[in-house]
Amino acid sequence: MKLWGGRFEAGPSEVFERFSGSLHFDRRLADADIRGSQAYARALETVGILTTAEREKAVAAFEAMRAEASAAGFFDGADDEDVHTLIIRKLKERVGGIADKIHTGRSRNDLVSLDIRLWLRDEIDATRELLGSLMAALIQCARRDPQAIIPGYTHTRRAQPVLWPHYLLAYFEMFARDHERFGEARARVNAMPIGSGALAGSAFPFDREAIARDLGFAAITRNSMDVAGDRDFALDFLHAAGLTMIHLSRLAEDWILYSGEEYGWLELGDGVTSGSSMMPQKKNPDSLELIRGKCGAVFGDYSALFLIMKGLPMTYNRDLQEDKPRLFDAADQVRGSLEMAAVVIETTRLKPAPPLTAVEDSWAVATDLADALARSGVAFHQAHKIVGRLVRESVRDSKKPADWSAEALAAFDPAFTPEMARYVRPEEGIRTREIAGGTGPRTVAAALDEAERRLEALRG
Ligand code: ARG
């Protein structure tokens, strides 16, 4: 069946049909198409196109179809142009002539916008739930080692000691923003386009607000031409998905390094690693590497849709059909990666000794000593110079911070008072950073409790 054809003498060529057909991917919209069409049948009754009996028959047939659509075989042998055509053909097989009226005042242009929006809304909700689970896993992970100290890095060089939970909460914040961003994308997805027709608005006096309420939309779209050509809402989703993947890939990269022999801080669960076919000793972080790799794939989807949209003349153009493979792929990758990352976090254990040793073997406490001098009245630039010299000489003589006693420090430079010697221990400097957002132990403990409450509110 075709939803068009009267105007043509010859049918489409086999190559064109194969080239232009979208059923093999847009079949994912079947459930959304059916739900939208049920609401549309009800709307058609209100404008007198369907009788009550016809509407009842159509809605019931759609309901039966919804159940079948999720079972195997529903699409077997189908050679329809797209999912919209398939659903109408299946309706016709069930209710005959009533199906010939279902497309009255509707176009695939407003229908496909509706279907994507319905599908995307659910997809966003599911993605946000997975983000919530990931954030919960980060909190759990932080709770296991509340006191652990690691070197914080800049330029991959040991910079300053931080609490392990502080590091984990940094990712919590990124994912909290992603959660928010998906919420913002959802708000723009959540507008009801039906009634726009092909581009000029439907010629039937539907109560569009009522259709929106029927389908749980917060609003109706405002301009029919905009609807026919717009995929901003899909790009908003891809933007949120892209940033989520960026954050996941950075966490993945950290943990690939931290679990490797050169760092040796983390033990990844056996269940998320794989071995080598040749080297018997290997325990490879494939789960994390795949997350990092899939980030690239999602970015490909993101830029693909931007390029597809670029310079399209108003309004609908068939180019827009190319939105769906990218959207579906990105949605699958982000959900899969979030699910995987949560399992990795749940099953990873920190070995607190190596990162602490990494701090103690380095001069990560240098800033703490300079800050202590500055608090005692030494100008910071002077303090910086004194500690810089201390580090230079220590490195030359293979001395670690702990090798310096109060007396030795005072002998090195009289600006060091006896009480400053404690800053050679990383936990002392950490205690000076109780500023809001800092790595002070009380601040971090409070941030952890607050993160828990925020997460509860998000998931509530
Ligand atoms: N498969 C089409 C798409 O995804 C549906 C809309 C078709 N509209 C049209 N005017 N040919 O964009």
pTM as predicted: 0.96
**SS3 at position 267:** strand
CA distance 200 to 110: 11
- As averages over each run of 10 residues, the pLDDT of the chain (460 residues) reads 89 94 97 98 98 98 96 94 98 97 98 98 98 98 98 98 98 98 98 98 98 98 98 98 98 98 98 96 97 98 98 98 98 98 98 98 98 98 98 98 98 98 98 98 98 96
* Amino acid sitting at position 382: Q
Residue 159 is classified by DSSP as E
Q: Which residue's alpha carbon is at the smallest distance from atom 5 of ligand 1?
A: 108
Identify each DSSP E strand in 148-250 by its residue range: 149-154, 157-163, 191-192, 219-220
State in Å: Cα 216 to ligand 1 middle: 24
Residue 155 designated active-site: yes
Cβ neighbours, 10 Å, residue 11: 10
What pLDDT score does 460 carry?
Answer: 84
Under 8 Å between Cβ of 228 and 315: yes
Under 8 Å between Cβ of 366 and 391: yes
User: What residue ranges line ligand 1, CB within 6 angstroms?
Assistant: 22, 26, 82, 108-109, 112, 316, 318, 320-321
State in Å: Cα 237 to ligand 1 middle: 20
Token pair recorded at residue 69: 């659509």
What pLDDT score does 72 carry?
Answer: 86
